[in-house]
Amino acid sequence: MRTRRLDLVPLAVAHADEMAGVLADPALHAFIGGAPLTAPELRARYERLVAGSPDPAVVWCNWVVRLRAEDRLAGTVQATVTDGGRTAEVAWVVGTDWQGRGIAREAAGGLVGLLVGRGVRTVVAHVHPDHAASAAVARAAGLAPTEETQDGEVRWELRIPSGAEGP
């Protein structure tokens, strides 16, 4: 999948070493908790993700975000597809060194467009209420906040009526 500046490349275990550096800043965990994973920890995580969901009704879709001009990985986007392919929960993360350049916005928009093009009718993201940058990414991708919260995060949604095109 290509956008104007980015390639969304299917996640591979081989991406773990470079991504460990991209995701090494503890500030990336300010809203989601936890701490950066080491390269071996990330490799083990990617092995599980690449193997796919153990539930046949759930499809895990994971991509690394490659900034073509720099030929560098800058983050990830992911979707968990359920409901027979009609619903996808999405997430994105861009390394600190690449933030503020519209990369998350472009990657998330490309992801949502891809999912809707594949028949997804509801796209969901969960955003911490204090994470203005992530809320801006969700809004730019066509999602809108709902009144629902889960684990302290606001549920954002994009609903595509049957037969309609996406954002």
Model pLDDT for residues 57-95, shown as the tens digit of each residue: 999 999 999 999 999 999 999 999 999 999 999 999 999
* Residue 15, burial from CB neighbour count under 10 angstroms (0-12, 13-18, 19+): buried
Q: What's the pLDDT tens digit per position in 104-121? A: 999 999 999 999 999 999
3-state percent helix, strand, coil for the chain, nearest multiple of 5: 35, 30, 35
Predicted local confidence at residue 93, as pLDDT: 96
Question: Which residue spans within 47-133 are E strands per DSSP?
Answer: 59-67, 72-82, 87-94, 122-127
Residue 164 has pLDDT above 90, yes or no: no
Q: What is the pLDDT at residue 161?
A: 86
Round to whole Å and give the CA distance between 160 and 167.
9
pTM of the model: 0.93
Residue 102 buriedness (CB in 10 A; 0-12 / 13-18 / 19+): middle
Cα torsion angle, 30, 72, 156, 4, sign = positive
Q: What is the pLDDT of residue 163?
A: 65
pLDDT tens-place string over residues 131-150: 999 999 999 999 999 999 99
How far apart CA 95 and CA 165 sit, in angstroms, is 31
> Residue 165 pLDDT more than 70?
no
What's the longest Cα–Cα distance across the chain? 45
